[in-house]
Amino acid sequence: MNETEFVAALRKLPLHPGARGLEDDCAVLRVGGETLIITHDMMVEDTHFLGDADMADVAWKLLAANLSDLAAKGAEPVGVLLGYSLGGDDARFLAGLDEGLRTHGVALMGGDTVATTGTSTYGLTAIGRATHCPVPSRKGAQAGDAIYVTGPIGRAMLGYEGDAQHLVAFNRPVPRLAEGIALAPLVSAMMDISDGLLLDCWRMGWASGVTLAIESAAVPVACRARAGECLRWGDDYELLFTVPESTRVPVPATRIGTVCARERAPLWLDGTPLPDPADLGYCHG
C-alpha cells in the first residue's frame, strides 16, 4: 500500500470521535474543561534526513514538525513524548532536542527507546492545549474565502540542495505557533504545509468540499525561476489558511487565491483544474 491507501484502510477501523475521521493532522480530545490537541510525526533516515546529517538538526526538525501541527490548530504546546532508536549520535540528538524544547518552551513528558541495527527511525508525540474552540481544521473553507500562506515556499528545497542562504530552513524550520494562535479565532480552515503547497491545497479543498483557486504568480516562492518545484516541495511548515474575504489578517501573510464552489477538482492552478493529487507533492510509498 502507499500512504493514501493505508490511511483509507485505517478509516475502516474503530475510530475515536477525536480522530476527525483521519482527515486532519491532529486528534482533538475534550478532557474536563480543556480541549487537548494530539499529534504524532516520525522521521526516517534517507527519507527525511541524510545519513551524514547532524543529529542535533534531526532532533530539532522532529520537534518542529510536530509543533507545526499544533500551530495549525492554534494550540499552545503542553509536552512531548519521544520514540527513539539508539545507535546514532545519541549525544548530538539529545543536544538538539534540548535546544528545541527550551527554544519553544516545551517539556519532555516521557516516551520509549529501542536499539536497532537497521534504518534509524524517530517518532514524537506532541500534546497541546486549544486556545480557541472550535479548533480549526482542514474542513471549513467556504466559497468566497480568501486563501493565504504565512511565508515563502521552497526554502527547504533550496536548503536541501545545499544553498547556504536557505540551509537553516531545511534543517531547523520554525513552527508558526504564535501565528496559529492569533489566527485560530478567524480562520475557516487551516493546516501546515509539510508535503508541498499544491498537495496541501488539494487536501484542504477535498476535505472542505470546495475548490481552492490558486494563482502561482501570487505565491511567495524562494526562487521564482523554479516556482513549479517550489510549489510541490515539502518541509516548509508555513501555515495555509482561509478566512472570509473581509477579514483583517493579524500576522504577516500573503494572499494566494480564492475559494470557489467545487468545480471538477479540489484545486485549480492558474485557471487549470488539477483533479489528481499524485504529482502535486510528496506522498510516502
Nearest to 153 by CA among 197, 190, 213: 197
pLDDT at res. 196: 95
Instruction: Give the Cα separation of 171 and 188 in Å (integer).
Output: 31
pLDDT at residue 7 tops 80: yes
Question: What is the spatial distance between Cα 145 and Cα 241, in angstroms, rounded to a whole number?
Answer: 10
Position of cell 544553498?
A: 163
Other Cβ atoms within 10 Å of 246 Cβ, number:
7
Is a pLDDT exceeding 90 seen at residue 61?
A: yes
Q: What is the pLDDT of residues 174-183, one digit of tens each?
A: 999 999 999 9
Confidence tier at 166 by pLDDT (50, 70, 90): very high
**241, 137 Cβ separation under 8 angstroms:** no
What is the average pLDDT across 123-148? Answer: 97
Per-position b or e across 192-201, b if 16+ CB within 10 A of its CB: bbbbbbbbbb
pLDDT, mean over the chain: 93
Domains of the chain: 3-130 (3.30.1330.10), 146-279 (3.90.650.10)
The per-residue pLDDT for 283 is: 60
Helix axes 90-104, 55-71, angle to 10 degrees: 30
pLDDT tens profile 204-232: 999 999 999 999 999 999 999 999 999 99
Note the pLDDT of residue 49. Answer: 76
pLDDT value for 1? 83
